[in-house]
Structure 1
Amino acid sequence: MGRILLPPDFRAVRYLYGKLADLFGRKWVFVFSMVVFEIGSLLCGAAKDMSMLILGRAVAGIGGGGIFTIAFIIISDIAVIEDRPKYQGMVGGIYGLATIIGPLAGGAFSDHVSWRWCFYINLPLGLVAVPAVVWYLRLPSPPGTLVEKFKRIDILGTVLIFLIVAAVITPTQFGGSVWAWSSPQVIILYIVTAVLLAAFIYVERSLAAEPISRSVSAILGAGLAVGAAFVGAIYYISLFFQIVNGDSATAGGVKSIPLVFSHVGFSIAAGIIMSTTGRYKYAYFIGPVFMIAGIALVSSLNGGSLLVQQIFYLFIFGIGSGLIVQTSIAAAQISVDEEHVAIVTGLAQTTVPLGGAFGIAISGAMFNNIIASDVNNYPVLLNAIKQLQDKFYPVDATQVLALSGLLTDPTITFVTNGTEANANLISIFNGAFKLSYLSLIAYPCIILIMAFLITEYRPKEGEKREIAMAV
């Protein structure tokens, strides 16, 4: 539960860190975020119950939300503008590799040492990183008085982004479990999310002390869309491997590596191209084409698909998402003057995970509704579910992974025709998977629309602000 309610990256905090970096300087906000992350990791490792674990994850999330964002802001301070995309692509690549290594290392710790070391491992790393930053990172203090800096804070925008995250995360967490996807609570909260998002766009475009341009708005919109597509793609392909192929969670994660590998590789490549040529708008046209092709191909997978097909299809999708993710951050930075780089970096860092939350919510609702409807066509599966519920197993057809595990559990002997029921479940899952995955095509289509609103800017000394604000 804590994973969604209190995500480690604390999506809204990323936006706020951009403003804090302007107020108090990059170095000490960076140190603060690392120290808070280490404290949260310590609390998680030492947790005696779920409440303490959730608290620790909340604290770690507040710190972790700043580490990645401030790293990009620091790069924008110490690297010349032509080199920023290259270095930021490398940092993004490291993050992508961590998404592969992290779960595998966590599984190894849990299997052979203790799950607590999934958190304790951060402590020695912090003991090295924090002193290194304090002693060796030398950045100038931001100019201006504290009062002047506080006047620049977009308080209304900050409040709105926090409300948006809360409004979308709550129904995403409880939808399909505590609340039905069609319940008034879920529907109302998603409507509230849409209204708040529209209000946020209006405030940032019109009312904020430092409004963002049309081009930057389009770049951020593309970031939301690529986040929705990428997170949804990762989640459902992992579920596919577990349900259809019968893989473990770890094995399913390993089979997702081609997607992450191409995503990381082309993220770095896009940064190098941008640093070398100054071009980035091409990514918003080419990337969505690869994403659409990858989504269509992956949706065609089934239990009889060859391993080479799985690898190739996932690789294709990763090319498209990789071209866009880090490009969006660098492009947003180039589109504003130096004074606003920290703020726009925080915004850009927020869009991808926030888009991921939206994407999972929408595709999750579609996925569950398809399964809940189709299960009525399979009387053997319906009877098996009823037998489990009669024995106080709280499952239904939308809980595909848990239900499949029960139907194939050799110790559960009271379920009649469990093998046939599981085959029915896999058949229903395949249909829901295909349609839900195809629904992700909407997001690269949105990116293509945003591409026409983006002005490619190759800055020259003294003209950056003029062009950014004129768009």
Structure 2
Amino acid sequence: MFEQAAPHPPSAKTDEQSEDCTPVRTSSREQGEQPIQTDPIQSQTSTVEVPSGGEGGSKGVEADEDAAKVPLTGAKFTLVMFALLCGVAMASLDGTIVATAIKAVVAELGRQELVPWIGSTYLMSAAITCSLCGKLADLFGRKLVFLLALSLFTLGSAGAGAAQSMSILIGARAVQGLGGGGIFTLAIIIIAEIVPTRKRSIYLGLMTAVFGFSSVIGPLVGGALSDHVSWRWCFLINIPIGLLTIIAVMVFLPFPSPAGTFMQKMAKLDILGALLLSSAIVCFLTPLQLGGSTWEWNSVQVIALFIVSLVQILAFIYVELRVASEPIIPATLFCNSSSPAILGIAIMLGATFFTSLYYMSLFFQITNGDTATQAGVKLIPLMVGFSGASVLTGIFISRTQRYVALFYVGPILAILGGVFMALLTPSSKAYESVLSLGVFGIGTGVLVQVRTFGAQISVPRELLATASAVAQTCNAIGGSVGVAIAGTLFNNVIHAQVASNPVLIEAIRQLEARGVSVDPTSVLAFIRELVVLPDAGLANAELLQVFNHAFKVTYLSLLVYPTLILLLALFVREFPCRVKTDAETVEV
């Protein structure tokens, strides 16, 4: 299937096999296993040219492609991939579907003051399991941990759909997050086990496309279900999909369990490190989620939690370096420049993608008067660009085995799309919106795909699960940080503009005289409240101008993140796909 590879001379830009943590692709023969034949597109034996002695000369050898550990027939492979994609679709859809259902939830359950916790608890519990599932998968097996994640997510969905109070809903969302945080990460890890490195990017691209598609249509689906059925179906819809996915994984994914008893595996688990990391994540994300809304940014709660989080991170680092026999995040993960650079890119990418998605939907609802469902429809160009770019990027990497250049292409396109989006106004033409969203979607789609592949290829095989889990955690944390920073900037601009606008000052005075409490940063609510005033038209026009200015400033500020990605890309090194045989390293 694969063409003969030319000898690859040593190069400053391409890392060869070394003793300093350079990734080594180990063949199944070396591991004492029989080479396994998978789906026809997956694994073949090929004759390749490899450097002999490290300095010159080459010879042909027979080499197995890397990462084909599980014996899957064509039908089984297809069913397992379908199950993985269903799991990813559920988890990513649930991250955004609830946004447009909040109004209906509050109308039935009340307790509006607890609304921020509906999203916060999901995000925090997901971040915790996302950071831990890599090590858990190494100790207890990919299949078992993936089934546990699917079961928790499905159970949490049932609880959320049946919730009779806001407190029960929030608790169910926490259970959902525990499962959802592991689903995407475990799916990535499993793909690395059943697909050879050379073909891995194709399937990662498909998975990334499903993730992007589900994330973007989440508000659209949530709005439609809330308007025409019930908000409960935003959660109940996961139950049949989750059960089918669990059955498919149990039947068709014959992953072997790692050797050792349960107690032996538990003895290897870094419990102290897990507790410190989990607590640090909660203490860091809580003020990011509640700061500026429930709590003031300079409040004691926010400052104290950030300090506690920092202390716990320092303690976690000490435990991992000095105490833990099998650390959750080993120091060897950072022993080449690519891995920490890609983790930094994951943070910046999360900040860029999730923040832009939120404020773009808000733009359509405020400037055009769209419903949440209509705003979701107008985000389709972003979804198409993101999903298409993810798939095509995977094909490109598979055929060329080169990926570092894409770390430059992605942020450049994201910057262009971000500038175009910042320049949108209520009078912008439809094609301008489509173009800006499409370009931004293509840029972020390229980045998500190459980040996922790069995180795996930049580490030795034994660190693949850990690298995937840490990268996903960084992406989630980046999203939280990005939304918090953008929200603070947006609110500050709104406050400053309103405070200097005589028309809006007078409108607020009149509303407060009627007993209406006004928060200028809640622009949608402010617009609805202005309707009762005699000069509502003028005040509404002024408020739209204020919003457009804040929107422009916020989107231009997001350009910092893809710019930093360009700088971090300078530290990413190009690792070829390699297999280590008994005598030498083979490039495939």
CA offset at residue 184 of structure 1? 5.0
RMSD: 2.6
Question: What's the counterpart of residue 4 of structure 1?
Answer: 119
Q: Which amino acid aligns with 1:3?
A: I
C-alpha distance in 1, partners of 2:494/2:264?
Answer: 56
Question: What's the counterpart of residue 287 of structure 1?
Answer: 410
Helix, strand or coil at the partner of 1:302: coil
Q: List runs of 5+ in structure 2 lacking aligned partners.
A: 1-115
Question: What's the counterpart of residue 106 of structure 1?
Answer: 222
**Structure-2 change in CA distance of 1:222 and 1:203 (3 Å):** farther
C-alpha distance in 1, partners of 2:271/2:346?
Answer: 23
CA offset at residue 325 of structure 1? 0.9
CA shift digits 1:353-388 (9 cap, x unpaired)? 211100011111111111111111112212222333
Question: What's the counterpart of residue 554 of structure 2?
Answer: 436
Q: Which stretch shifts more, 96-105 or 82-91?
A: 96-105
Question: What's the counterpart of residue 36 of structure 2?
Answer: none
C-alpha distance in 2, partners of 1:231/1:142?
Answer: 36
Question: What's the counterpart of residue 245 of structure 1?
Answer: 368
Contact map agreement 2:490 2:551 (CA 8 A) in 1: yes
Is residue 2:560 matched to residue 1:460? no
Helix, strand or coil at the partner of 2:507: helix
Helix, strand or coil at the partner of 1:115: coil
Question: What's the counterpart of residue 344 of structure 1?
Answer: 467
- Give TM-score, length-normalised by structure 2: 0.73
C-alpha distance in 2, partners of 1:323/1:204?
Answer: 33
**Structure-2 change in CA distance of 1:298 and 1:206 (3 Å):** farther
Q: Which runs of 4+ in 1 moved over 6 A?
A: 194-208
Q: Structure 2 matches for 1:391-470, cutoff 5 A? A: 391-408=514-531, 413=532, 415-462=533-580
**Structure-2 change in CA distance of 1:175 and 1:69 (3 Å):** same
Q: Which stretch shifts more, 268-277 or 7-16?
A: 7-16
Question: What's the counterpart of residue 375 of structure 1?
Answer: 498
Aligned residue pairs, count: 460
Contact map agreement 2:118 2:169 (CA 8 A) in 1: no
C-alpha distance in 1, partners of 2:388/2:319?
Answer: 36
C-alpha distance in 2, partners of 1:203/1:217?
Answer: 19
Q: Which stretch shifts more, 384-393 or 9-18?
A: 384-393
Contact map agreement 1:291 1:321 (CA 8 A) in 2: yes
Contact map agreement 1:4 1:169 (CA 8 A) in 2: no
Helix, strand or coil at the partner of 2:197: coil
CA offset at residue 106 of structure 1? 2.7
**Structure-2 change in CA distance of 1:181 and 1:188 (3 Å):** same
Is residue 2:424 matched to residue 1:335? no
Q: List runs of 5+ in structure 1 lacking aligned partners.
A: none
Question: What's the counterpart of residue 131 of structure 2?
Answer: 15
**Structure-2 change in CA distance of 1:253 and 1:61 (3 Å):** same
Q: Which stretch shifts more, 433-442 or 385-394?
A: 385-394
Contact map agreement 2:198 2:577 (CA 8 A) in 1: no
Q: Structure 2 matches for 1:266-285, cutoff 5 A? A: 266-285=389-408
Question: What's the counterpart of residue 172 of structure 2?
Answer: 56
C-alpha distance in 1, partners of 2:412/2:220?
Answer: 31
Is residue 2:208 matched to residue 1:85? no
Q: Which amino acid aligns with 1:224?
A: I
Question: What's the counterpart of residue 230 of structure 1?
Answer: 353
From 212, 224, 231, give the equivalent of 1:96. Answer: 212
C-alpha distance in 2, partners of 1:429/1:296?
Answer: 17
C-alpha distance in 2, partners of 1:56/1:221?
Answer: 31
- Give TM-score, length-normalised by structure 1: 0.90
From 255, 265, 278, give the equivalent of 1:139. Answer: 255
Contact map agreement 1:22 1:149 (CA 8 A) in 2: no
From 471, 485, 488, give the equivalent of 1:365. Answer: 488
Q: Structure 2 matches for 1:157-172, cutoff 5 A? A: 158-159=274-275, 161-172=277-288
Question: What's the counterpart of residue 219 of structure 1?
Answer: 342
CA offset at residue 344 of structure 1? 0.9
**Structure-2 change in CA distance of 1:73 and 1:134 (3 Å):** same
CA shift digits 1:52-101 (9 cap, x unpaired)? 11111111111111111111111111111111111111111112222244
C-alpha distance in 2, partners of 1:161/1:418?
Answer: 51
Helix, strand or coil at the partner of 1:454: coil
CA offset at residue 107 of structure 1? 2.5
C-alpha distance in 1, partners of 2:556/2:397?
Answer: 31
Q: Structure 2 matches for 1:42-53, cutoff 5 A? A: 42-53=158-169
CA offset at residue 331 of structure 1? 1.0
Q: Which amino acid aligns with 1:419?
A: G
CA offset at residue 131 of structure 1? 1.6
Contact map agreement 1:2 1:57 (CA 8 A) in 2: no
- Rg: which structure is higher? 2
Q: Which amino acid aligns with 1:176?
A: G
